[in-house]
Amino acid sequence: MPNRLFIKLLLGFWLCSSLIIALVGLLPLLQQNHDRAPIPPHLQKVLATIAQRIQENPTLLKSDFLRRWERHRDMEGKPLRLYLTNSQGQVINTNRISRGVRSFMLMADEEKQPISHQFKDELVFGPYQFTLEGETYFLYGRLPDTHPRPWFFFFIENKLLTLSLAILLSGLLCALLAWHLGKPLRSLKKSADALAEGDLSNRVDKTTTQRNDEIGQLATAFNSMADSIEAMVKNQQRLMGDISHELRTPLTRLQLSLALARKKGQQTTETDRIAYEAEQLEQLIAELLELSRVKLSTNETKVCLGLAESLSQVLDDAEFEADQQGKKITIDIDEAIELSHYPKSLSRAIENLLRNAIRYAKSDIHLHASQTSGQVQITIKDDGPGIDPAELESIFKPFYRPDSARQRESGGWGLGLAITEAAISAHKGKIKAENREPHGLEVNISLPT
């Protein structure tokens, strides 16, 4: 029960607000407990001595006895001020009464016993009660006195600053709670984004899944869902590869039968057509098997190798093909670029892009590769007719053939760019195509090192 998210939110905000209210509310009580105390014995003795003198000589009430006494010093050498009140609470020896003394008289009346109270710059104490000629009198004293005050008294005297600090403290506590709840949610969002971009192996970290609240349950459910999705996609891709592989057996028999027929002199226009279509089927099956292999990343291990070295054969073939068609290809790859990759898959991806560029370019093709912090950028440009902007996002889908000048006369099954996209995704990279001005196509690849 305590691990439920509702309980955490409730306790978090409730404790935060309660703590702030308690701290602010306790300050006056702390001040009161610190300032108010029983009357010290030596001051009690001073008041008792004065009261006894008055009781022994009642005429002192009408003289300046109390004023003359005030000229004396207490035991610590501080000037003492005296106040004498009657039973109605009226001060009878002076008309000059400070606000602090009046407040103290009310405090002492509530306490019902002699006390002392430390004001900012004076100590007031009393009352000492005595009776004279059937009348009750109360004697109070005041000393100029300042004592070191606890540090928290600073907040009592600066209420605006105290309020500001209370708001800041409450913000910090709430921020801590928000971070505690937000961190696992950010981890969950990161994994969801990665899954949406095709990274089926990404999972929520163990720190989040091991939580005992609803967020931990959600993370565990998300990982289970991702496991199921990854398994289904891989099974589908494996099924496509298995079917393509199985189709090769009857196709091989068909091609063998055609070869035997030709040996027997049974070659006709129809058998030539059958042979052509069988060859097309053979190429289609080979493309499907390649797509399945690249997506599953099977039979290949990542190696850390120079990009120029890995693509050397592909680049030589591209230069030869461009030269045969009377076109110019410019290759700019820094020899220092190295990255961890699947050599065959990456080579096939670049080969498909270069062949497309050579096929549709009017005269010039450019390949440029550069390395930035943690990324390798590969750009392939041509000066061909380009692609309809509405179809740029779809050209990497399997069997998609745009209704543009680049594809209508090209033949093929729309699997070349799908294989390229699968190879880049297997490297955790990104690929994007965009039209150039005034014409042509530019394909940008970003690969992590």
- Which residues are designated catalytic? 245
Cβ atoms < 10 Å from Cβ of 439: 12
Cα 147 vs. chain centroid, distance in angstroms?
Answer: 49
Distance CA 308, CA 335 (A): 6
Element (H, E) at 430: strand 430-435
**Phi/psi of residue 57, nearest 5 degrees:** -135, 85
Q: Which residue has the tokens 């978090």?
A: 12
Contact (CB, 8 A) for 385 and 431: no
Please list, in sequence order, all residues whose beta carbon lies within 8 angstroms of the beta carbon of residue 343, skipping any fewer than 6 positions away.
300, 303, 305, 310
Spell out where 32-134 has E strands.
36-38, 81-85, 115-118, 122-132
Pairing of strands 441-448, 375-382: antiparallel
The single residue listed with the structure tokens 């002699």 is: 114
3-state SS class at 300: coil
What is each CA distance from 70 to 67, 83, 211, 232, 351, in whole angstroms? Answer: 5, 10, 73, 99, 109
* CA 364-367-368 angle, 5° bins: 135
